[in-house]
Amino acid sequence: MIRNHPSCGGWIEVVCGPMFSGKSEELIRRLRRAEIAGQRVLIAKAQIDDRYDISHVVSHSGHRIRAVGVEDPASIERFSEGCDVVGIDEIQFFDPSVVETCVALADRGLRVIAAGLDTDFRAEPFGPMPELLARAEIVDKLQAVCHRCGGAATRTQRLVNGLPAPFSGDTIQVGALDAYEARCRGCFEPGEDVLRARDPHRVTAHS
Kindly state whether residue 151 participates in binding Zn ion, applying the rule CB under 5 A.
yes
Number of residues that bind Zn ion (CB under 5 A): 6
Q: Beta-carbon neighbour count of residue 60 at 10 Å?
A: 14
The β-bridge relationship of strands 163-164 and 152-153 is: unpaired
Cβ at position 143, least distance to Zn ion in Å: 11
**Measuring CA to CA, how many Å separate 169 from each of 16, 88, 173, 179?**
22, 26, 9, 14
Cβ at position 123, least distance to Zn ion in Å: 13
Nearer to Zn ion, 98 or 146 (CB): 146
Cβ at position 68, least distance to Zn ion in Å: 37
Is the Cα dihedral 92, 95, 96, 100 positive or negative?
Answer: negative
Kindly state whether residue 184 participates in binding Zn ion, applying the rule CB under 5 A.
yes
Cβ at position 183, least distance to Zn ion in Å: 6
Contacts with Zn ion, 131-150, as mask; x by CB under 5 A:
---------------x-xx-
Residues serving a catalytic function are 90
Half-sphere exposure of 173 (CA within 13 A, CB side): 15
Kindly state whether residue 187 participates in binding Zn ion, applying the rule CB under 5 A.
yes
What string of DSSP letters covers 107-131? HTT-EEEEEEESB-TTSSB-TTHHH
Nearer to Zn ion, 151 or 169 (CB): 151
Q: Point out which residues bind Zn ion (CB under 5 A).
A: 146, 148-149, 151, 184, 187
